Chains A and B, each alone.
Chain A
């Protein structure tokens, strides 16, 4: 980390770093290509038409994913790149892989209905992915802020991509809320920089600086910084934007929002909390703070979801609650709990895309609110069967991977309790699990209306593209329940160091 080095050394450093920057360069190239294609192809220039840009986006994200996968076995320790601003480790690689696959699925879902300004759309989605890549690797405050804003600004535009009034409203709300929380976060980070004298949160200097100034100011500064990360995760108390944005945005974008920014925010939050606890020496109990946030987020998300009648809004609150479950992994803060959190993230991603895929399918048939689903289960049992599998997985009931994921994340918590004897972990444990019962109540509402209520549905074809995609995702969820060892074997290689 030779910040004070001369120009030639810096250039050499950058050149060296670029070698480990493959996936990001691919995404960047994808953005450039897709924008050029948008200019060259006349029908695209006119603002409508072709699905070529979506295919380019698909290829770019899958290619980026493949490069991350290929590099999986090379990164044993975290590689500090670009003067220590970012770290390339397996923790970030894993999240990048999930984000890339999520991006690819977003493009697949978009094939069906995205017909306006397609190349710009693809460029924006790729930018979100690129921002998520950067954020999940960032340890320098400047990089954190830049990449977080990269996700945010592109997200604001995407949120309004339905080109309707409510879309513009949702987008504006997202923008106002996002700008405010970014400012708050920036203020917190600047205070932290002032306290510690280092802008690299993974550096020894930063940790020592924190330890030397255990004060109320540090608590406030840390909380302010956390606010920005929690905003990206849609966790309490920074969750208010989510329902409006989810309701207004196009379904593929909602699916993207529910996974990619969330996981990127989770990554930076994890790194920050790990640094802030200063190897357990910090006087401020950051784990307890995160634990408290987690349990409040889960409960509030679930309770609010109970009262929703719009399927997208319900899923918005569901994704808020799921953020809380992810945060439990951070609250436990052991190497295992982080690994379990990574497993949970992967399962959450699959189940969420499954659900949103089918919500889009039903939305295209004019089914928007939950009561609209009445009777559709009888006429379209295949789609509802698959949707049920996704919802069951989000609830955490066997035989889906959602159960395994919850089992593991609570195992991590239990084990952290055993090691540290921190009784607050136990206070998360029981309400966290009991929340599953509340969650069941609303996750089952769609199948409940579909199968139990009478209504008229139109007979559906079984052999559709959506059902094929659904089948693949359902089989993934079942497979990860019956054979979780394969994926966990991979995740076990994530050694988490600052």
Chain B
């Protein structure tokens, strides 16, 4: 150690400082989640009697079972899964087809239509919400999960834009060769572009999965029958009736959050890639 130069010692000191700061900030960011987890395991009387205590007096796993029954979690979960699967399929199918049309085909009006696509991204949902609601109600979609799933089959400007960028980076020669071999446009899309774009399609699927799982406003708007509520909406309904049952609320929130945390760990790469893609033009 005695042979260390002043510069190296300085470097080492900065790096200790930096790691300390990183640990403190990480702890601060994780603290709310840790408190949620701890509260979900506390006995009810501890949360009201001694609200500032950190650790559970005794670990009450049965909070989870109680929350499962009280919400009712499993019924809402089934609805959430239907919404997520339907919306992810709708989004990936429609957006990849439309993106192919914009990225790989030349047709009159393409540029103008693409400008319209971008313009729709700038329109706040407030403007279209009420007529959409009226239209969907008249189509008999009110109180149907289909009211939330069907629109995903009509494409989403943001994902179409993302996939178009990705499709454009695939060499045009591949398509030309396939056309000479007599493949139809749909054949090129299905056999060449889709297999080569798996990472981008997975990213879009993951994004939409998170959006559908979290979506609160569409169920609030379209669903009235408790039998059809997804978790995001069912959980909020639970807040007003169980506001004094913090232990159950936290147990339910943990069970609602965990799948997303799990998803993030499984698909961290495609998330990170997708998010950084939105920032670079």
Question: Are A and B physically bound partners?
Answer: no
